[in-house]
Amino acid sequence: MSSVEPTTVLAAITRRRFLLTGWLWRSLGYLLTTVPVVCAVALPFAAFCVPWLVLVVWAGDGMYPQPLGRVLFLGVLGVVLVFGLGPLVAIPLATLERMRLRLVSSDRALSAHRAPPAAGLWPWVRTRYTEAATWRELGYAVLLLTLVPALLLLAAVIVGLIVVMVVGPLVVGDGNEAVALGFSQISSVDQAVPYAIAGLLLLPTIPYVIALIAGLHGALARSLLCGDDPDALRARLVEVSRSRARLVDAFEAERRRIERDLHDGAQSLLVNLTLQLGMAKLDLPPDSAAGKSVSQAHDQAKDLMAELRQLIRGIHPRVLTDRGLPDALRELTEDFVVPVCVTAEVSPRPAPDVEVAAYFVVVEALNNIAKHADATAVDVAARRAGDLLVVEVVDNGCGGADPEQGSGLTGLADRVAAVDGRMLLSSPPGGPTVVRVELPWIEN
C-alpha cells in the first residue's frame, strides 16, 4: 500500500483506514455547509429569473397569447439579469467555495482569474466579464442550484432508507404502524426483520456515501473554479526541461558510442581488408580473371570505406570532438556539390551539446540545399554574439522553403528547440534562402 497521504476525499476513500481518519467528518462538514450556501445563492438568482417565471406562470394559467413585444422583453430581461448580474454573485461565491474546498482537498485552491484589474469600476467590469474563469464560475453557480441539490437529496435518501430499514422493527411494534420502504410496505416485525438485517449490513456504507457525494461535489468545484498552481507548473516545467536535457545527453552519448564503434571497429577492419586486397592485386597478373576480380573487390572496398566515412561523419564527426566546430564545418563542406564559403569564429569552444546542435543544423541545411534549392553558391557563418551562438546558412537558390512541405526544416527546428534555441527562416520565392539559428552560449 502506498505511504503517500491522500490529498482528496476521493483518494482517501480507497484507503483501508478511511474510517479512522478525519476525512469522513470533513466530508460531512462540507455537505452540511453546502445547504446554507445553496440557500443564499438561490435568493438572488430567483430574483434574476423572475421574468422567466412570469412567462412560465402565464403559460400555466393559459394566459397566452400575450403581445409578442412583452414576451420578448421579459425573455431578454431575464437573459440580461442572469448574464449581466449573475457574475456579481458567482465571483464572491467562487471565492467562498475555494475556501470550503479545504474540507475535501488539501491541495491549494487558487483562483483562475488574471491579475487584479486597475482601480475603477469599468476596468474591473471589462477584465472580469471578458475572462473565461468568470463564466465558469457562473456555470458552477447554476450547477450549485440544480445538480448539487440533487446529489444532496440522493445522499439523504440513501442514508434515510438505510436508517429506516434498521429501525423498522421498532417502528412497526405491535403491527399498528406501517413503514414504507421504497415501493413496499412493512406492517409486522416478521416482515421488518429481513430489512433490518440488510440495513445493518449496509450501515458501514453510509460514511462512504457521504464521502463520495462530498468528493464528487469538490471535484466539480475544483474543475470549474480553480486555476493551476504556478509553483506546481514551474516545478513541472523544470522537470520537463531536465528530462529533455537528459534525453538529449543520452541520445548524444549513444551517437558517440556508435561513431566510436564504427570508427575503431568496422572502419579499421575495412581498412585492413582494403590493404590486403591491394597487396593481393599486386601479386596477381592484371589480365587474369583472378586479378580482375580482386581489383574489382579492391575498388568496391574503397568505395565502401568512403561511404562508411560519410556515415560516421553523419552520426558524429570525430573532427568535431577533436578540433571543434570551425574545422568540422570546413571538413563538412569540402566535398559539397556547390562551392561553400565558411566563416567560423567560435572561441572559446561552447558546450558539446550546443556545438553538436550547431553542426547538425548546418548538415540539415546543406542537405535541403542539395535536394531543393538549385543553388550555385552557399555561405556558412558561425560566430558568438553575446550570450548566443549564431549560425547562418545562406544560399542563392530558388527559395520558397516551407516547413509544412516536409523540407526537413521542421526536424531542424526541433533539434534547435532541444537545446533551448530558436530558428529563423527567410525564403522568398526566387531566393535567397537564409536559415539563422540562435543557440544559447554555454561554456565548455
How distant is the alpha carbon of residue 130 from its chain centre?
25
Within a domain: residue 233? no
- Could you tell me if 34 and 105 lie in one domain? yes
- Could you tell me if 199 and 151 lie in one domain? yes
More confident residue, 405 or 9: 9
- Could you tell me if 307 and 436 lie in one domain? no
C-alpha dihedral (331, 337, 341, 346), degrees to nearest 10: -40
pLDDT tens profile 158-191: 888 888 888 877 777 655 666 666 667 777 777 7
- Could you tell me if 18 and 129 lie in one domain? yes
- Could you tell me if 149 and 295 lie in one domain? no
How many other CB atoms are found less than 10 A from the CB of residue 245? Answer: 14
- Could you tell me if 208 and 66 lie in one domain? yes
Within a domain: residue 178? yes
- Could you tell me if 87 and 191 lie in one domain? yes
- Reported pTM: 0.55
* Residue of 225, 221, 245 whose CA lies nearest to 354: 245
Among 40-44, 60-64, 143-147, the minimum mean pLDDT is found in 60-64
Q: 263 pLDDT band (50/70/90 cuts)?
A: low
pLDDT tens profile 404-432: 665 567 777 777 877 788 888 888 888 78
Within a domain: residue 218? yes
pLDDT at 1: 42
The grid cell for 126 is: 471589462
φ, ψ (nearest 5 deg) of residue 265? -105, -80
pLDDT at 66: 63
The grid cell for 195 is: 430489512
- Could you tell me if 214 and 291 lie in one domain? no
Q: Residue 428: give its domain's CATH number.
A: 3.30.565.10
Q: 312 pLDDT band (50/70/90 cuts)?
A: low
Give the residue-averaged pLDDT of 27-56: 89
CA-based R_g, the chain, Å? 38
pLDDT at 442: 77
Q: 182, 201, 227: which is the final residue of a domain?
A: 227
Q: 270, 296, 315: which is the final residue of a domain?
A: 315
Which of 106-110, 380-384, 426-430 ranks highest by mean pLDDT? 380-384
Within a domain: residue 385? yes
- Could you tell me if 382 and 286 lie in one domain? no
Within a domain: residue 33? yes
pLDDT tens profile 320-352: 777 888 888 888 888 788 888 888 888 788 888
Residue 109, pLDDT above cutoff 80: yes
Percent of the chain whose predicted confidence (pLDDT) is above 70 = 80
Burial class of residue 218 in the structure, from the number of CB atoms within 10 Å of its CB (0-12 exposed, 13-18 middle, 19+ buried): buried
Residue 100, pLDDT above cutoff 90: yes
* Residue of 104, 129, 83, 92 whose CA lies nearest to 221: 104
Q: Are 393 and 408 in contact (CB under 8 A)?
A: no
Residue 261, pLDDT above cutoff 90: no
Give the residue-averaged pLDDT of 102-111: 86
Q: 385 pLDDT band (50/70/90 cuts)?
A: confident
Within a domain: residue 436? yes
**How many domains is the chain partitioned into structurally?**
3
Percent of the chain whose predicted confidence (pLDDT) is above 90 = 17
- Could you tell me if 272 and 126 lie in one domain? no
The C-alpha atoms of residue 225 and residue 134 are separated, in whole angstroms, by: 9
How many other CB atoms are found less than 10 A from the CB of residue 80? Answer: 13
The residue range of the domain holding 144 is: 9-227
- Could you tell me if 292 and 352 lie in one domain? no
pLDDT tens profile 196-251: 888 899 998 999 999 999 999 999 999 999 876 555 556 666 666 566 656 656 65
Q: 128 pLDDT band (50/70/90 cuts)?
A: confident
Among 56-65, 147-156, 293-302, 369-378, the minimum mean pLDDT is found in 56-65
More confident residue, 299 or 214: 214
**Residue found under cell 471535484:** 219
Within a domain: residue 90? yes
φ, ψ (nearest 5 deg) of residue 319? -65, -30
Average pLDDT, the chain: 80
- Could you tell me if 181 and 268 lie in one domain? no
Within a domain: residue 235? no
Q: 315, 340, 374: which is the final residue of a domain?
A: 315
